[in-house]
Amino acid sequence: MRSQTGSVGRLNDATIYVRTSKQKRPSKSATESEFVGVSDEAGAPLWCNEFMFSLGLLPECVVIREDNTACIILHQNGRSNSARTRHTKIREWWLKYHIDAKEIEFVWVEEGKQQLADALSKPVVGRLFVDHFDSIHGVVLVYKKVYPR
């Protein structure tokens, strides 16, 4: 089974990038799936920072909100001794370079309420869906309890 990756990019509290996609290859574990998803999606915010720099602005470090601590550790250490993730060399060295250059920073967030991209890759229902929708689109959904006839 191939995993689903969701990505939400925000700049000054405005959503500028939303993407969901099926990963191109199957993963052996949830950590590897998160690892592949981050390395696939990290190019967009880095390109955005390069574009802002070319306009004469000084962009801040890209902050990636990740809910998998093992994935964060893999990215920050830059290499794996585990047999399950040893084959991901190109991806880990590419991201490790940007972490060392202080262009990318990982922040752990709680899965569910704080992770906006969950709405793009998992079934999210009820109040959590409304909260994610409001955050991504910047508008408030209004529900009418009494419907006109």
Q: Do residues 35 and 71 lie in contact, with contact meaning Cβ atoms separated by under 8 Å?
A: yes
Hunting for tokens 């981050």 — which residue is that? 38
Predicted local distance difference test score (pLDDT) of residue 79:
63
Predicted local distance difference test score (pLDDT) of residue 56:
93
Q: What is the pTM of this model?
A: 0.68
Predicted local distance difference test score (pLDDT) of residue 81:
61
pLDDT digits (tens, 9 = 90+) for 21-74: 888 878 878 887 888 888 888 888 999 989 999 999 998 888 888 888 888 887
> Who's near 13: CB < 8 A, 6+ residues apart?
138
Q: Do residues 92 and 38 lie in contact, with contact meaning Cβ atoms separated by under 8 Å?
A: no
Give dist(CA 102, CA 104) in Å, integer: 6
| DSSP-derived 3-state class of residue 90 | helix
**For residue 11, is pLDDT > 80?**
yes
Q: Do residues 19 and 6 lie in contact, with contact meaning Cβ atoms separated by under 8 Å?
A: yes
Give dist(CA 11, CA 14) in Å, integer: 5
**For residue 86, is pLDDT > 60?**
no
